[in-house]
Amino acid sequence: MPENNNKKDGESSQLPGIPGRRKSGFEQPFDTLQIATWIIFPFILVHYFSFLYFLIWSALAAKVILTIIFCCSAVATLYFAYKTCSIDPADDVLCHQSVANPNETEQIYCYLCEVNVDSSSKHCRFCNKCVETFDHHCKWLNTCVGRKNYRYFLGIVSSVFIMTGESFALSLAFMIESFAFPDRFLGRVLSFNDFKHYLGSSISIVALQTLLVISVFILLCIVLLVVQLCGFHIVLLWKGQTTYDFIVTEQKKQRERENARAQKKLELQAKSSNKKSADKAPVPAPADEENHKGDEDGDDDDDGCIDDDEIEGDEEGNGREVVVAHNGNEDNV
């Protein structure tokens, strides 16, 4: 991780080679999820053109329009994926092998790249390079996403959303139709010469329904992933954050919550031990009737620790209030 420690201008004049630095998503080592991408994308294409295409309602306009939308989104996905993976999102200093003028932008020194980089750059351990306005390392594409390729990455997310969304919607519609009107559905499917030629006229409604149920299940998983990714990046754009910023912020909030819980636990333990000390001490004469009632309530649930109900009771001013007051604590909780 880079640190805010600017190096003198002269010190970064010698740019070292960075062994193992990956420049694009097409370079090894490949990631398991990247290989999964190479399998899932062709699967969606084959699924559409060898199955869904033949099930689309007979109206030529519907078939043409839906297929054009699918093809455009598939081509756009390929284009955006190529651009995202082929563009090196590394810091300009690493890309151009030139020294950035520290007077132009705020600089930080990366001890791994051994060079001054832009303050928005973060060092990716998978790619072994500093990435300008680092967003995240995408394992599905096996490349870093930063300022230089973020818009293409958003293009992938959008086009994949359209492509998988259409496949899922069609599969779901055909599945519902096949169960609701099996005879009509099978008759319509078998009326297509292309489908007869491809699968034969002996295909049964059960086989079609099984294929559709499997298709809907697989596509639903993919669509949910894509929708979640779309929603996440829409929120990031709205907030003006990168994925990295979001994760760092969330981790900070999580640490603060854990610290607050630990602090509260310590306070409760301290009060519990104070109460035990107070119980062992001689009980003073009750000042009035209300305090006497409080002592009785406090003794009833003396289990050595304070649970949620007891905390609530303290806030309401009964039971524990008197015990705590005996020990000179500042407040009732």
List contacts with Zn ion (CB under 5 A). Answer: 110, 112-113, 123-124, 126-127, 130, 137, 144
- The minimum distance between CB 114 and Zn ion, in angstroms, equals 8
Q: Which is nearer to Zn ion, 245 or 295 (CB)?
A: 245
Q: How many Cα neighbours within 13 Å face the side chain of 276?
A: 9
CB of 127 to Zn ion, least distance (A): 3
Residue in this structure with the two tokens 């640190």, named with its chain if needed: 3
For the bound state, the minimum distance from the C-beta of residue 248 to Zn ion, rounded and expressed in Å, comes to 17
Q: Tell me how far CA of residue 196 lies from CA of 62, 178, 186, 215, 273, in angstroms.
A: 20, 17, 11, 20, 81
Q: State the nearest-atom distance from the C-beta of 126 to Zn ion, in Å.
A: 4
C-alpha 12/C-alpha 118 separation (Å) is 13
Q: Which helix (H) or strand (E) holds 143?
A: strand 143-145
State the minimum distance, in angstroms, from the CB of residue 130 to Zn ion.
Answer: 3
For residue 18, the minimal CB distance to Zn ion (Å) is 8
Q: How far apart are the first and last CA of the chain?
A: 42
66 vs 145 by CB, closer to Zn ion: 145
In the complex with Zn ion, the residue whose CB is nearer, 123 or 320, is 123
Q: Which is nearer to Zn ion, 112 or 172 (CB)?
A: 112
**Nearest of 131, 170, 169, 120 to residue 153 by alpha carbon:** 131
For Zn ion, the closer CB: 177 or 245: 245
DSSP 233: H
CB 40 within 8 A of CB 222: yes
The three-class DSSP label of residue 172 is: helix
Looking at the Cβ atoms of 144 and 278, the one nearer to Zn ion is 144
